[in-house]
Structure 1
Amino acid sequence: MESGFFYPFDTPDQITAAERRQDGLVRDLKQLGGVEVDDRASLIHFNSTCLDMIDRSFTIRGGMSNILALVCTLFGLGGGGFALRMVMPDLLAGKIESPWIVWIMICVLFTVVTCVLFIAKRTIGQEFFTYTHFPIRFNRKTRMIHVFRHKGSGGVLSVPWDQAYFHIGKGTLARSLLDLRGHVMDGDKVIDTFAVGNFFSTREPIQQIWKFIVVYMEQGPQALPKDIHIVKSPNVSLKNQFICATSYCNIFLPIPLIKWVFAALITGMRWVVMKSCREPVWPSEIVAESAIAPDDIYHWGEPEFSGGPVRDARGEWQAIQARNRRLNK
């Protein structure tokens, strides 16, 4: 679940040509004929020039890991402070004569502080004061893929569409969670790795996202189904965080009472995390090559919150209703 964010991707150093042929996702639309086209709520921007997908980690931002890290930090600091308060008066008064007790106490406190600092660094460094999301851009006119990581030098990974190797990746710890995984290759050597869109527990949604991207890149926006629209929103509003938190809890916490308690906690944590972060900004050269024509009929509307209404040339609710009918068949 946290692969590529808290934990590195489980990526081999090399992937041979035979392995790529066996496990790679094909780009031949004839071979993808039985797969439905769908972005699976991974799309956040769309027009005739490029599309942006959400990053794999967006779903878990401010989730259970943050809450557990906060609880551990508070307990660690509270426990360490309580121990000092109980022991220090006797230690200073010379009532503790055995040096072993002092050394044991120092070792315990050092361990607690180290663990607290590790947890705080892991949470603050990865979650807070970074970016609200880390989009992946597919530019069909330049045939380039851009992976946003940070604003500084080398903060965007760019690879030609025709040279990237894609397959269905597995989580580092939760092996049952799958994602659309991309690799930058130098021969058989893996240079870099990234994931595109949401993660799932089955292969079908990943194949649908892949076909959506392939159709867009190879045939253009006009070849996509007319009832697809943008569902996901990276907006930092409290309402959007509640929707994202509820969706997260629907997957992992099916028991109603427990689900709503954790949904409230995760909503608050996500909102605090997102408020501390800034919007990702693409470098000027990528912005220039991704310019949207004023009359672009394929510049799709973006909802203010995930699952909300979209307003574009195709209508407001019609696309939503048509797509829901198709998915519920």
Structure 2
Amino acid sequence: MPLIKNVIHRFHVKRPLTARERELRLDIRKPAGDAPHYQLSLIRLNSTFVECVDKWYAERGFGAMFGAAAFSAVAFGMWVLVTNIFKHWHPIGLFFLLVFPVLLAVTAYIFLCDAFTYTHYPIRFNRKNRQVYAFRPDGTVLKAPWDRVYWTILGHANPLGWLNVAGHVMDESGKTVLETFALSVNSTSKQGEVKLRNHFEFFRLYMQEGPAVALQRIQPVPLIMLPPIDRQKESWAFGWERITLTLNGSPLLQILAQVFFLPESLFRWIVMRTSKIPQWPQWVEDECRIEPDDPWRREPGYRDEEAIAAMQATAGARRNG
């Protein structure tokens, strides 16, 4: 059922660039933002490559929760209809009897867009061979030259839409979008474009100037890598924490939103337990070999404890001052 499993990950392709995409293009030769940030998206980092999660990772669980809730509501409505249709016959009842199975299929479809897929869809930036690798929903890998990917901000700033930093793979003429993948940060506001640009700037710095510059520029923010999601499935506790962090900086909203976040975290746990951990094919690993004595090697679960302690000390001094 590849269509069901992949529909949520689709982009509009085989099309020309829009005027907005051309206007918001991100040039890899120019700084995209003043405060680069990795936004808790990194899986692995070293002198050869940096690997991050995809745009859907932070939202995992929501689709399954919505699909399950809608499926339950439709199933209940269908049960009420069936138990009463012969007692209080009306022609419109036959119409709903035909519609409800379709609605059940649609809501199950939504659930399966999230569950029974992959736990995440990693993106790898190799600065040595200047290639970008993106894990596709069907388990294959997209490989594209960093210098030829068309980077832009995709979407529209409104409450119902999402903005993402997207990488377009173009045809030879440079006019038609053949394939699209997106980085992990989402936004719904015009102001959020700054956050998106700063997120892209981290990867631009890594590819153009190396890990030393990229990590130096994020200071004083400490480097905290994701847990080893490339080898094991995340815990419920981490899933809940990752969902809650979508409102980072707004503690009151984080508390109020728990009425939604707690059940969503349960469905996220179900999604992760029913999904497969993506595995890079051997040819990708061969092209991304890491030197055994690499001084910039940062593995999953790494935390810059010294920087964390310094940041906490600074925050404490401000509160006491």
TM exceeding 0.5: yes
How far apart in 1 are the matches of 2:154 and 2:208?
A: 23
Contact kept, 8 Å, 1:46 with 1:52, in 2: the verdict is yes
Give 2:198's aligned residue: 208
Identity %: 27
Any conservation in 1 of the 2:33–2:198 contact (CA below 8 Å)? no
Which residue of structure 1 aligns with residue 56 of structure 2?
57
Cross-structure match for 2:8: 6
After TM superposition, list the pairs within 5 Å mapping 1:70-85 onto structure 2.
70-85=68-83
- Is the alpha carbon distance of 1:274 and 1:172 closer, same or farther for their aligned partners in structure 2, counting shifts above 3 Å? farther
Q: How does 1:159-178 map onto structure 2 within 5 Å?
A: 159-170=144-155, 174=159, 177-178=162-163
CA contact under 8 A between 1:32 and 1:211: conserved in structure 2? yes
Give, in angstroms, the shift of residue 40 of structure 1. Answer: 2.0
Counterpart in the other structure of 2:166: 181
Distance in 2 (CA, whole Å) between partners of 1:106 and 1:189 is: 47
Residue matched to 1:230: 224
Moved more, 5-14 or 50-59: 5-14
Aligned mate of 2:184, from 168, 188, 197: 197
Aligned equivalents of 1:284, 1:165: Cα separation in 2: 27
Asked if residue 138 in structure 1 is aligned to residue 125 in structure 2, the reply is yes
Amino acid at match of 1:295: D
Aligned-residue Cα RMSD (Å) equals 3.2
Q: CA deviation at 1:242?
A: 1.4
- 8 Å contact from structure 2 (residues 166, 182) kept in 1: yes
Moved more, 290-299 or 264-273: 290-299
1:40 aligned partner: 39
The one-letter code sitting in structure 2 at the alignment partner of 1:229 is L
Specify which of 112, 134, 137 is matched with residue 147 of structure 1: 134
Residue 299 of structure 1 deviates from its aligned partner by 1.0
Aligned to 2:280: 282
Cα shift at 1:178:
2.1
User: Aligned equivalents of 2:242 and 2:300: distance in 1?
Assistant: 16
- Three-state SS of the structure 1 residue aligned to 2:212 is helix
In 2, the alpha carbon distance for the partners of 1:238 and 1:79 equals: 32
Q: 1:52 to 1:325 in 2, by over 3 A?
A: farther
Q: CA deviation at 1:79?
A: 1.8
Q: Which stretches in structure 2 are left out of the alignment for 5+ residues?
A: 1-5
The code of the aligned residue for 1:220 comes to G
Using the TM superposition, name which of 254-263 and 77-86 deviates more: 254-263
Kindly provide the amino acid, as one letter, of the partner of residue 23 in structure 1.
L
Where does the alignment leave 5 or more consecutive residues of structure 1 unmatched? 304-309
**Conserved? CA contact 1:42–1:54, under 8 Å:** yes
Partner of 1:307: none
SS at match of 2:15: coil
SS in 1 for 2:292: coil
Report SS of the residue matched to 2:208: helix
Candidates 300, 303, 308, aligned match of 1:302: 300
Question: How far off its partner does 1:224 sit?
Answer: 2.2
Residues of 2 paired with 1:34 and 1:269: CA distance?
35
Q: Which residue of 2 aligns with 1:306?
A: none
Matched position secondary structure for 2:16: coil
Residue deviations 1:299-324, cap 9 Å, x none? 11422xxxxxx35xxxx511334567
Report SS of the residue matched to 2:65.
Answer: helix
1:15 aligns with: 17
CA pair 40-119 structure 1, distance change in 2 beyond 3 A = same
Matched position secondary structure for 2:257: helix
CA 326–24 in structure 1, closer or farther in 2 if over 3 Å, else same = farther
Secondary structure, counterpart of 1:271 in structure 2:
helix
- Checking the alignment, whether the CA contact within 8 Å between 2:164 and 2:196 is kept in structure 1 is yes
CA distance in 1, matches of 2:36, 2:132: 20
Residue 261 (structure 1) aligned to one of 253, 259, 272: 259
For 1:220 and 1:325, the matched residues in 2 are separated by: 29
**Distance of 2:311 and 2:12 partners within structure 1:** 35
TM-score scaled by length of structure 2:
0.81
Structure 1 counterpart of 2:79, one-letter code: G
Structure-1 separation of matches of 2:244 and 2:25: 33
Larger Rg: 1
Contact 1:215–1:223 (Cα < 8 Å) also in 2: yes
**3-state SS of the aligned residue for 1:218?**
helix
